[in-house]
Amino acid sequence: MHERLRATAHAASFSEADGTFILVPFGAEAINEIISKLKSQDVNRVDAMVSILSFCSIPRAEKAVPALINRLLKEEGGKLLYYEHVRAKRDDVCWWQDRWVPIWRFFFGGCVVGQPTDLWIASMGCWGKTEQIRQEGEEESIFPHSIGHFIRA
């Protein structure tokens, strides 16, 4: 997978050699290793973070996601963009989400459906601009999604 990422980056004129592309081969829960890797490349903070159906698979996500944002994302103007599974708004659907977690997690890389990731992020209090959209037509789905665009103050 890493070679494919490198090839895609290179095709878009990004390169590890000139520092425009840095491959960080760690899971999001390995925040100290991520920070060490970035610092070895003279990077203290990143301008943007993008998560597409990834936050749901981070162990202890309620603590790890805010820690990633606080420790890695540029403090002023840093952008967070995400598309994630989130907790349903209806209690009956939440009941089903909770029942699906053990099965879903096993077959889909540790993904925990039904986490209120969108609420954790929105409540961080570091944002100057926030925009969250729930995917239309998913009120009864046990796999609802949220799209978020946040900019740090």
Cα–Cα distance list, 66 to 14, 31, 97, 118 (Å):
28, 11, 23, 11
CB atoms within 10 A of CB 60: 9
- The matching CATH number, chosen from 3.20.20.70, 3.40.50.1820, 3.40.50.150, 3.90.1150.10, for 46-152 is 3.40.50.150
DSSP letter assigned to residue 73: B
Start and end residues for every CATH 3.40.50.150 domain found in the chain: 46-152
pLDDT tens readout for residues 12-27: 999 888 888 888 888 8
- How far, in Å, CA of 88 to CA of 86, rounded? 6
Residue 80: what are its φ and ψ, rounded to 5°? -120, 125
Strand partners, 119: none
Residue 116: what are its φ and ψ, rounded to 5°? -85, 55
Per-residue pLDDT for 136 more than 90? no
Per-residue pLDDT for 152 more than 90? yes
Q: Is the pTM of this model over 0.75?
A: yes
**Helices in the chain by DSSP H: which ranges?**
2-11, 31-40, 61-72, 91-107, 117-122
Q: Which residue has the tokens 């425009």?
A: 20
Per-residue pLDDT for 131 more than 90? yes
CB atoms within 10 A of CB 82: 23
9 Cβ contact partners less than 8 Å away, ≥ 6 residues apart: 15, 16, 21
Give residue 146's pLDDT. 95
